[in-house]
Each structure stands twice: as structure tokens, then as C-alpha cells.
Chains A and B, each alone.
Chain A
């Protein structure tokens, strides 16, 4: 199956700093990538849809100025948590699809655990 990687897998940072998370599709081109957030014992909640070469589409309630998304190429999307605060501590996970068909499975990265002190 298709492989999606995320880097870093763990981040511990001080409150007020910015953190960048990378999501890469390793063996396929992904026109669209998705960013999710998962709090402990909860389901994945979509934050935004990232399209290569255009602005991301954010879900309601997600601050676009706080969670900056860049999809510069067909294999890389980045999520930057700006001025992170303890409430931003969560598990961030991306997914990517190689084609637009509804039959196409989205493949998920291994996730990034962010802890803001």
C-alpha cells in the first residue's frame, strides 16, 4: 500500500513557540492531503484540507492564522502550529490520497504527538 510519513513523531515545546509538522507521500503523488487532530480517547477531527498549489480549506472553528498549512508540492504538506499553547497539545495526523475517486483509500501518516509545556 501507499506510504505516508510524518516528521517529527514527537514534539515537546515551550508555550509561545511555533512547531512545524511535515507530511510526505513517499511513493505516490497526493494532490490533496488532510490534517486531523485527535485528543485522548476521542476520534479524529478534520482540521483542514490541503490542496497542492492553493490555499487550504479549514473546517469550522479551526483558526487558519494559528494552524498554517502549506502544500508546496505533490508529495509534501506542512502544518505549522504558531504560538503554541498547552491546549494545542494533541495528536496530529495527516492523510493523503493518490486519486480523487471515492473508492480511493486515504492513507494515514503515523501521527505527531505535540506536547506544549
Chain B
């Protein structure tokens, strides 16, 4: 069974500052994918970034980067230069392809002007 743990129910960050959203996971699968999704108040799930378990480098996508520490089973999301539009729920997830996606409970990020 796969499990995703997000321990931060809510986070505040000043505009233009960086913020780290924590995520730890547990799985017995040797190969897996880790994802981060953003869910604004409108409800849609927006894909942000992907990290494969065998990827040698940490994933980056624009202002988003994933701090992947395989031995610690952590996959923290780093958002640099926060913008007001970044205020949303952020979900860490595991799975992908034809596999079902297991989500964490989410972290609500509020960007303060």
C-alpha cells in the first residue's frame, strides 16, 4: 500500500519569498512516481511537477522544484518567488500512468502581499 503524509495543514509566505511544502511517502514498490498538484478555490487539479524514483536529479519546473530525498522518503515542493496567485491547496501524490494516484491531505498555502 502507498501512503502520502503532509504534516502542514496551512502555510503562510510573504510575496516574493520562497516556501517549502513538506511531503513524505511510504511504498514497497521499487519504481514509483511522485507528483505535486495545485488546487485553487475553483477546484481543478493543476499538475505542477513530477519526480521519478530513479531520476538522478531533482525535478524543476519554472519556479517549482522538488527536493527529493529517497533515503528519507521525502519529496518536498519548493516554490520560489511566491506570487499572490500561488495561494491554493497543494497536494502531494504518488502513482501515475495506469496506477491509481494516492493523495496526501493537502497543505493550504496563503501568500501575503
Instruction: Mark A residues whose CB is within 8 Å of B.
Output: 1, 31-32, 34, 42-44, 46, 49, 91, 93, 95, 97, 99-111, 113
Contacts and interface: CB of A to CB of B under 8 A. Distances in A.
Contacts, number: 71
Interface stretch (B31-39, B63-71, B73-81): B31-39
A105 B35 CA distance: 8
- Interface SS of A by simple majority: loop
Nearest to B55: A103
Interface of B: 31-33, 35, 37, 42-47, 50, 52, 91, 95-106
Given A91-B43, A110-B44, A99 B91 contact: no
Nearest to B100: A46
- Interface SS of B by simple majority: strand
Nearest to A104: B97
B84 to A, nearest CB: 22
A101 B106 contact: no
A102 B101 contact: no
